[in-house]
Structure 1
């Protein structure tokens, strides 16, 4: 992306001398109005003859003609009579044309009335790039757009939200004294107060009240009584401010309004989304129910306000938490029952069908039962049995069952801090949600669930149109929208995107193959040698007696595959274990592994988390060696055994420091850092940091550290070590640093920029480097969906390399959407990239192409992945350390991909 410059020689030097002379004459001509006594003294007055450059020819003549053409354009801007040029320059296109119009508005300040005014030119630009208020913002928005690639006709799951001109919004704050916990009670009192006011209102159930007209000037208090009870409540309504429809501050109003519309359309709120509980899909063989629904969000984008609408599904079990507790009690002894219950319930999400609310289980209260009492607002004590009988007409059968605890942080009125509140739940009334790990490993179950949850692009767009039709056909929904001056477009939003060029994969012996239209090179990888093979001369295979045949066949296959991979694989040392106990693995690893062993392979009869964790901890921390754990069932498929063992062999090659393939990168001296965080139990997190060590991105440095609170200064330590390792492998420090941070939400962007970015800048200052930084945020869990429009009005998934950097991007951020992976089933999920900071001044085309290239370099998959490879490596590293190793890995493995 950056090209070096070479000093001109021969005719080029002569042309350069002529250009410099003409530039000097031009400067003297511009200063012709300066009095003669202050003008520059020529060299001839001092007796020094001025050198005369020979007339340029060939390339020098071309350079001179190009310079004259640029000089004529400059003279036109400053009012000098232009010199007649030979030929006309090509007209600018795309962003260059917009830039030219912008600069014309800046330079032509006193244009005659017959020409367009600067204001009208800015308006012409803003029609193309969205509503922008200032010239600088127009230029900045144009700069954030790329131009390369093939144009695609796309559509998205956004619906234009039309706003009536001249409308307004008045915001009020509602304060209840004493504080009311139940939203229904707050709604009741606000409805009583606003009953006499013949106007529409939007109340969020908390403290925000919106009206289309002014109600009071300052504040007003009302003394009210609840219908069910004698409790007196003082409600104070305070005027906050007036807003204009379309302002960014009105997003909360619009989201509350569309939540009400979902209620009008008979959708039930479960968690944060809305589902159709009347049209649920029942899977009786697995005791599951699937609720279809929508994620509805109003967002402020480059093309003004849009309604983002995405289909969602909620999986509800027919089994209650009480039934799961009974199964655990029957399947385990008394000593392990509580331990197994904790493992099963902590972090689980349950739903209470009497109010359709979801809760995360944080603890099990073994000493609290439904017979226990709790205080009410009026100071009385009531048992859980009585409470559910009076409030929901529900009878609790087992009065001795333990209760489940959910902690909820709530904002207290008059305080900026939040306080924790405990909610006790009865297992009998709690139904399990989502899928457990055991269910996810059940192929038949996942196939049956996917029949209802995997939605194709065509089905997803049909759901969008159905929602639009339901809103337009509902009189109540139309009334709610029109009262606030809003209306929905008849179709989802269409736009144009770009498809980046197909990349070329480089294998061993400089063999190059195209990644293909689907960005998949699985077949080519098996038919070509790897880029950097590693000979395996000393390795060990551990196995039990029942897997003796699998171990021998595996060793033979590995040796036969060595020729196709381009390396030598010796015969392994086979170590038979007497049994499958965890302590046996520990003993054999300590006794049979020495410093000369390159890799240890474990063939296990079944997959157990505790055994896997012990093996990884031994091989990654105590005895640093590359390790591979294989399930014996995986090797028992004759028709697939070769491809399976090939993938295992490729993984081992990477764990030993080798590499499989690479791409062409048109730059040198860049360091790419990937960051991701694994969040474990009890607020313990593991941060993974990965950075490249060479210029073709085939070797990586990895670091992981446990954190209980903030990340602190970990980035500084990891980045310092990464710079030292980069210099050791490449011979010099990097010229540019690109940091790609995964797992940051919109609400954390400011914290990330103020806290995390400064750590990298402080390290560079300490090294006294002038290296520039580009900080990029990657977001995977988004609701945006992009469809590729094909003939006959059908839509499908866009091809890999699709980029969208306008219309649905933010007005206030440098961002774009990229689809890098190929998806054959369901709907592809794009990745959102936000360039949070860029002192490298990388062009949008280059940063988009760089991110797409990096999606080709994940060695665990012969194809493109969803995020850049450094982020995926950091994710695998953090998850491996946080879930299984649970201690600091050995520094000897820091320059190898041991966690694949």
Structure 2
């Protein structure tokens, strides 16, 4: 920056400079850092005049109200009250914003490669790079295919929109209901729709004043005269966060008009339900409704959702557990069962998460009401809901919820005590999920075909258009709902060629399934199984011997040598018996240990996996004897087990053609455990054919990772040891990141990888991709069918300001396929959309646990499996000797 430009700002430039300097001083005081003064920078400033003096006065007045976040609030206020700076003012803004962040990081001596930066610094960084221009990310490869989606276009009448007003009361009013009363009187006289938050922010569908207007009204409860001043702030941009939230509120009202009940975040029809009486289960149909700005404008997303509610209450389960559990560990078992469970209270149709159990409280206890009275829970539910609580000695459940406090940036915890007798379970228990007949009946209700989804979509549009009140609400805000869902043209990528053993090449085909070909051809890189052990009990001797004979017979099919194993018969199936035999029988020469268990017990499985992954690092395979008892499918089952064991020993089953060299693809996913303990799985290829993988698990406390440097450093070393050079391009595919974490992920997680490359002095480029699986977008091919594998949509319904696309990689025969959302956050590799889309589709073929395509790239699925195995069962750092093998399959 030229010093002469810095030294002579005037007008708006001097005001902006003064605001930025005050911001720096505040941050200096808050974090104790000595920052350069304006004299040290070389700027003495100038006295603002005219409009600049007015703006400066407004900034000073607002400063006293925003002490906690003075810097960002002043900049926000300045941007709202004057036009976007140009010329020298724009240069100054860019210079000082970059200089402040750099000075804070340097002078505080924050090691961003090792520690989590302060939240305020991260927020400041993420505010700098805001994309204002619409993003275009369209590929060209593949053939065109006609599609439709579950989005409905929302048109806005010209001259309408969302206009923000500030509301001031003189004298000041604290009660929210009194504020709402006065605002309702004004809007009633003007005959305008509104959204008022009960504080100082009012949204209207049109501009009624240019600057400000005052009204004098009388409060009904004390006849006090109050002056209300409406101040016009600005018109919201269509994609603004507050604007999108407002449109969602409007459709929330419409859903209530259509007699849908809100449970959690979704809406359900409580008058229609599917009953499964033999299992005391009810299934309610409903909708997921969301408004967002897409490439083709504002759209309503609508998808079918189901809610399962048990007729059994939490109290019933509590009594059942008390009868079946030992009194010494009763409370411990109850904690394990209920903590984190979601329950429904039918008296108000609200859902709650159970965060604690209050053993020292009962319904006989009292609480303080808003008018100062003491009231027992028994009397409260009797008076309020006409409900009689039968057991007066049952403990209470506690729900905590963080809510925003009006007039404050802080949140406070609100506690809600729940009566178990009135709480209905909303989730399926483990025993229910293991019941095949129950899950089959549930699937008949919840697995909806594309035809049914499209029919429900059209019925919803008709219901809204036939509801006069719903149309009135939409017209008030200048909205109109299209008469049909969005139609568009997508692309279908060509089928991939699968490379098997002995140079055999086959096509994945239209269904992207090569199970039959894999059964008749050898694996790409098989591993000989020379030393292995089979542990079994006496009751499973027949199944064990038959399994071993099949393994030896199938060795020619796989293309490897399988010797006869050591057979170890256990006297019983107790956990300590398995522990003793594993420690005494497994040696350094053992390649794999196979355990044939009479039942699948979680505690025994955890012990086996922990021993084989940490103390005695060896590939392990746990098989339920019931699986081997199916004689008609024993050959196919044994073949799948043999192939899985081969992968756990470092073998490879197949690959696809990758037309490049020197690329490393990293997959990242996080498993969330109890007590905020999470495990991050990090998996990357270590050869150029993507057949060998390096895996590591990292324990962390939050979703966003802190310690990627360690795993990434080891991955680079492993890649170099196999390929004799560091990679030239690095593609990071990150799973499990929501929309609200995208900026944070880009600024913080990406920086860790860049720091490692810088420390190694590697001139490699990075492409950072986020994968989202849990989305409500649906794609339908012609004749209301599921689109084929390889279908790409990268326009119309994609986000307006993101480089993103949707892809259907998997083949779904029943129900409706769920596409995967890919968001390219960073692309210094300058890869074209076609390159990224084809790469992701190829990697969806490389998951060795399934001879077909999966919905996410294989590195992400491997990372998911690794994190889940460590987080659920191993619960400690696995041995580094297993890092180059897919031991968690």
Which aligned pairs between 1:24-35 and structure 2 lie closer than 5 A? none
Equivalent position to 2:577, from 574, 584, 592: 584
Q: Which runs of 5+ in 1 are unaligned?
A: 1-136
Q: 1:625 is matched with which residue?
A: 618
CA distance in 2, matches of 1:308, 1:205: 29
CA distance in 2, matches of 1:278, 1:267: 9
Q: 2:504 is matched with which residue?
A: 511
Which aligned pairs between 1:146-157 and structure 2 lie closer than 5 A? 146-157=139-150
Q: Which runs of 5+ in 2 are unaligned?
A: 1-130
Q: 2:835 is matched with which residue?
A: 846
Would you say 1:318 and 2:311 are equivalent positions?
yes
Q: 2:106 is matched with which residue?
A: none
Q: 1:762 is matched with which residue?
A: 755
From the superposition, tell whether residues 689 and 553 of structure 1 become closer, same or farther in structure 2 (CA, over 3 Å): same
Would you say 1:856 and 2:816 are equivalent positions?
no
Q: 1:553 is matched with which residue?
A: 546
8 Å Cα contact 2:144/2:489 also seen in 1: yes
8 Å Cα contact 2:667/2:732 also seen in 1: yes
Aligned residue for 2:655, secondary structure, equals: coil
- Kindly state the Cα deviation for residue 479 of structure 1 after the two structures are TM-superposed: 0.9
Q: 1:284 is matched with which residue?
A: 277
From the superposition, tell whether residues 778 and 876 of structure 1 become closer, same or farther in structure 2 (CA, over 3 Å): same
CA RMSD of aligned residues (A): 2.5
Would you say 1:202 and 2:195 are equivalent positions?
yes
8 Å Cα contact 1:688/1:875 also seen in 2: yes
CA distance in 1, matches of 2:231, 2:608: 64
Q: 2:647 is matched with which residue?
A: 654
CA distance in 2, matches of 1:206, 1:745: 29
What is the CA deviation profile of residues 317-358 of structure 1, one whole-angstrom value per residue up to 9, with x for unaligned ones? 111111111111112221232122112111111011111111
CA distance in 1, matches of 2:805, 2:392: 56
CA distance in 2, matches of 1:417, 1:233: 32
From the superposition, tell whether residues 414 and 257 of structure 1 become closer, same or farther in structure 2 (CA, over 3 Å): same
CA distance in 1, matches of 2:680, 2:218: 53
8 Å Cα contact 1:204/1:256 also seen in 2: no
What is the CA deviation profile of residues 221-255 of structure 1, one whole-angstrom value per residue up to 9, with x for unaligned ones? 988679xxx99999988646232584535212211
8 Å Cα contact 2:792/2:807 also seen in 1: yes
CA distance in 2, matches of 1:484, 1:185: 25
- Kindly state the Cα deviation for residue 204 of structure 1 after the two structures are TM-superposed: 6.2
From the superposition, tell whether residues 850 and 186 of structure 1 become closer, same or farther in structure 2 (CA, over 3 Å): farther
Q: 1:779 is matched with which residue?
A: 772
CA distance in 2, matches of 1:462, 1:286: 29
Q: 2:422 is matched with which residue?
A: 429
Q: 2:789 is matched with which residue?
A: 800
From the superposition, tell whether residues 878 and 388 of structure 1 become closer, same or farther in structure 2 (CA, over 3 Å): same
From the superposition, tell whether residues 668 and 370 of structure 1 become closer, same or farther in structure 2 (CA, over 3 Å): same
8 Å Cα contact 2:134/2:801 also seen in 1: no
From the superposition, tell whether residues 756 and 222 of structure 1 become closer, same or farther in structure 2 (CA, over 3 Å): farther
Q: 1:743 is matched with which residue?
A: 736
Q: TM-score, normalised by structure 2?
A: 0.81
Number of residue pairs matched by the alignment: 754
Q: 2:109 is matched with which residue?
A: none
Which aligned pairs between 1:351-750 and structure 2 lie closer than 5 A? 351-709=344-702, 713-750=706-743
From the superposition, tell whether residues 235 and 527 of structure 1 become closer, same or farther in structure 2 (CA, over 3 Å): farther
Q: 2:813 is matched with which residue?
A: 824
Q: 2:102 is matched with which residue?
A: none
8 Å Cα contact 1:351/1:430 also seen in 2: yes
CA distance in 2, matches of 1:261, 1:188: 23
8 Å Cα contact 2:193/2:476 also seen in 1: yes
CA distance in 2, matches of 1:412, 1:236: 23
Q: 1:262 is matched with which residue?
A: 255
CA distance in 2, matches of 1:799, 1:371: 60
- Kindly state the Cα deviation for residue 658 of structure 1 after the two structures are TM-superposed: 0.4
CA distance in 1, matches of 2:225, 2:628: 70
8 Å Cα contact 1:146/1:844 also seen in 2: yes
8 Å Cα contact 1:855/1:866 also seen in 2: yes
8 Å Cα contact 2:495/2:508 also seen in 1: yes
From the superposition, tell whether residues 615 and 233 of structure 1 become closer, same or farther in structure 2 (CA, over 3 Å): farther
What is the CA deviation profile of residues 413-434 of structure 1, one whole-angstrom value per residue up to 9, with x for unaligned ones? 2221222222111101111102
From the superposition, tell whether residues 488 and 555 of structure 1 become closer, same or farther in structure 2 (CA, over 3 Å): same
Q: 1:242 is matched with which residue?
A: 234
In our comparison, the structure showing a higher alpha carbon Rg is: 1
Equivalent position to 1:870, from 859, 863, 883: 859
What is the CA deviation profile of residues 85-124 of structure 1, one whole-angstrom value per residue up to 9, with x for unaligned ones? xxxxxxxxxxxxxxxxxxxxxxxxxxxxxxxxxxxxxxxx
Q: TM-score, normalised by structure 1?
A: 0.81
CA distance in 2, matches of 1:635, 1:416: 59
Q: 2:882 is matched with which residue?
A: 893
Aligned residue for 1:334, secondary structure, equals: coil
8 Å Cα contact 1:174/1:235 also seen in 2: no
CA distance in 2, matches of 1:591, 1:767: 44
CA distance in 2, matches of 1:233, 1:363: 48
8 Å Cα contact 1:167/1:245 also seen in 2: no
Aligned residue for 2:554, secondary structure, equals: helix
From the superposition, tell whether residues 208 and 257 of structure 1 become closer, same or farther in structure 2 (CA, over 3 Å): farther
Aligned residue for 2:631, secondary structure, equals: coil
8 Å Cα contact 1:545/1:578 also seen in 2: yes
CA distance in 1, matches of 2:838, 2:178: 54
From the superposition, tell whether residues 231 and 864 of structure 1 become closer, same or farther in structure 2 (CA, over 3 Å): farther
CA distance in 1, matches of 2:197, 2:266: 15
- Kindly state the Cα deviation for residue 200 of structure 1 after the two structures are TM-superposed: 1.7
Range with greater deviation from structure 2 (881-890 or 705-714): 705-714
